[in-house]
Amino acid sequence: MKVIQVELPEKLAQELEAFVKEGWFRDEAEAIRFALTHFLNRYRLQLTEHFQREDIAWALRWKEENGRKLGA
C-alpha cells in the first residue's frame, strides 16, 4: 500500500478525529481511504470530462498560437 501524507485544515482534522472517536472508523487512515474512494467513484466521470475539456482547450490555444509561427 502506498503512503501519502496530507495536511488538513484544523476544522477538518477535528471532524475526522471525531468520526474515529465515535467509532465510525477504525482510524484516520481508514476514514480518509473511505472518503477518497467515495469521492472518486462518485465524481470519476465529471473529473475525467473536466480534465479532457481543459486539455482540448489548451491544445486549441497552442495550435492557434503556434500555427501562425509554423506557417499553418
Report yes or no: 34 and 16 within 8 Å, Cβ to Cβ.
no
pLDDT of 40 reads: 93
CB 16 within 8 A of CB 28: yes
Q: What is the pLDDT of residue 8?
A: 96
Q: Which residues of the chain have pLDDT under 50?
A: none
Inter-axis angle of helices 28-70 and 10-21, nearest 10: 140
Is the whole model's pTM more than 0.75, yes or no? no
Picking from 31, 30, 39, the residue whose alpha carbon sits closest to that of residue 15 is 31
pLDDT at 66: 86
Any idea what the Cα angle at residue 35 is, between residues 40 and 43, rounded to 5°? 25
